[in-house]
Amino acid sequence: MKGNTRRGAWPALAAALVVGFSAAAATLHVRGSRQAAAVPPPSASVSQRHPGARAAAAASVDGWVADAERAVAENPRDADALRGLAVAFMRKQRQCGDPGYYRRAMAAVERSMALEPNSYESRALKAWVLAGEHRFEEARDLAEQCIARRPRDPWNYGTLADALAELGDYPAAVAAVQRMIDRKPDLASYSRAAHQRDLHGDPEGALQLFDLALDASSPRDPESIAWVRVQRGNARLGMGQAGAADGEYRCALEAQPGYHLALAARARCQALLGRRPEAIRLYEQALAVIPRPDWAIALGDLKRDAGDRAGAAAQYALAQAALAAAGAGADVDRQMALFLADHGDPRAALQHARRAARTRGDIYTCDALAWALYRNGRYKEAWKASRRARRLGTRDATLLRHAALIAARLPGASRQARELLRQAWALDPTLTEPVVPHRA
C-alpha cells in the first residue's frame, strides 16, 4: 500500500500510518475480506480486560448485559464486575443508539471508582464513556492522564484520538492514532486510521485500511462487522459511488438485521439514487429504533420535497423535541444551527453556531457556523469559516455545496463557486439550489 501524498501536513503522518499497518499486517492472517469503520468499535480493546466480556462476541449483547448485571447483583462491591457492566452498557448503546446507556455506563464506572479510587482501569473506562457522552475536553484530559500512567497501553490513544478529532485538533489526533497502531494493530486502531484518511480527503486509502479492520474482526461479532461496513459505505459516498455504498450498507444489514445505522445510511443512499419512497421508508425504520434529530430532519426534507407538508412538519417537530430533550451542548447547538438556518430563524441559528464554535473546532462545527453566517448575509465571515471547514480536503457534498453558495456571493469568486458546485454534484446529484452570482 502506498500513502496518498496530496494534502498539507497529513501526508507524512499518513505514510507513517501505512508503514505501521503494512508491518503489522504481516503478522495477521489476511483473508481478503472487506469491512469499514470511522471511529472504531469502542469495546474491541476494553472487552479483553473485563469479566464476561470475552464471551460477548459469541453471545448476544443483551445476554452480555444480563450476565454483567447478574454479576454486580451477586457482588455489588466487586469493582471489576462494575467495570464489566460499564463495558456491556457501552456496547449496548452502540447497538441500539440509546444515549441512556451512556448514563448507565457512567454510573457503573463511578461506582467502581468509589470502591477503587486509584484504579487505572476505571479511569481508562471513564475517559471512554466521557467521549461517548461527547464531553470531549474531559475525555482528552483523562486519557492523557491514563497515558502518563501506562504509556504502552494502546487503548487510551484511541480515546485521545477520538476526543482530539472532535475538538478539531486533527494533527494531534493523527499522532495519537499512530501511537495506537504502533502498540497494537487491531480492529480499533485500523478503524481510527481509516477514519482519519477519510477525513483528510483520501477515501480510497481509507478503504484499504478498512480491509485490514475487517480482517481483524471476529465473525462471532456481527455488530462490529455491521458497524464497520456502514463506515465503509460512507467512504464510498466520498468517492461518488452511491451504488457501491448501498452494497456496503446491505452487507451491514445482512450481518446485523435491523441495524439502525445501516438503515439510515441506506436511506441517505436511496435519496442520492433518486429513490425517494424507499428512502422515506428506510428513514422511518431507523427512526423507529432511535429518534435521532438529523434523521428526522432528513426525513422531513424528503417528505417536503414529495409534497407532504404535514408529514414534513411532524418530522421537524420530532427533531426539535429530540434536540430540546438532549439539553445543552455543542452537538445540540450545531444541529440546531443547521436546522434553523434552513427551516426557521437564521438569527437564532447564528447564536447556536457561535456557541458551538466556542468549544469545538472540528470541520462540521465550522461548516455550521459558515452556513449560519451565510444565511445572515455575512458572506466574508462565512467564507472564512467555510475554508476552515474544508481545511482537510474532506469529500463531503454538504461542505462543498455550502462553500459553493458562499463563494458565489463574493466578488471575483464565481469560477471557484462553479468548481465547488461541480465537486458537490459529483457526490450528490440531487442538489438543486442554484448558485446566485455576486452582484456588485
Fold: same for 10-220 and 327-427:
yes
Tell me which residue of 255, 316, 266 sits closest to 291, measured CA to CA: 316
pLDDT at 384: 98
Q: Is the pLDDT of residue 41 over 70?
A: no
- What is the reported pLDDT for 433? 60
The vertex-204 CA angle with 202 and 209, nearest 5°, equals 95
Measure the CA angle with vertex 439, ends 436 and 440; round to 5°. Answer: 160
Q: Determine contact, residues 122/83, Cβ cutoff 8 Å.
A: yes
Question: What is the CATH architecture of 238-323?
Answer: Alpha Horseshoe (1.25)
Element (H, E) at 199: helix 187-199
Q: Which CATH class is domain 10-220?
A: mainly alpha
| N-term to C-term CA, the chain | 50
Residue 408 has pLDDT above 60, yes or no: yes
Domain definitions of the chain by residue range: 10-220, 238-323, 327-427
Name the DSSP letter for residue 316: H
CA distance 216 to 210: 10
Please state the rounded mean pLDDT for residues 386-415: 96
Q: d(Cα 398, Cα 352) in Å, to the nearest integer?
A: 19
User: pTM of this prediction?
Assistant: 0.85
User: Can you tell me the mean pLDDT for 24-46?
Assistant: 33
Counting residues of the chain whose pLDDT is more than 70, the rounded percentage is 85
**CATH class for the region spanning 327-427:** mainly alpha
pLDDT recorded at residue 95: 84
Residue 65: all three cell numbers together: 448485559
Q: How many angstroms separate the CA atoms of 174 and 193, rounded? A: 8
Mean pLDDT, the chain, whole residue set: 86
Give pLDDT, residue 37: 33
Distance of CA 242 to the CA centre of its chain: 19
pLDDT bracket for residue 7 (50, 70, 90): very low
Is residue 321's pLDDT more than 70? yes
Mean pLDDT of 93-118: 94
Chain segment 240-283, per-residue pLDDT in tens: 999 999 999 999 999 999 999 999 999 999 999 999 999 999 99
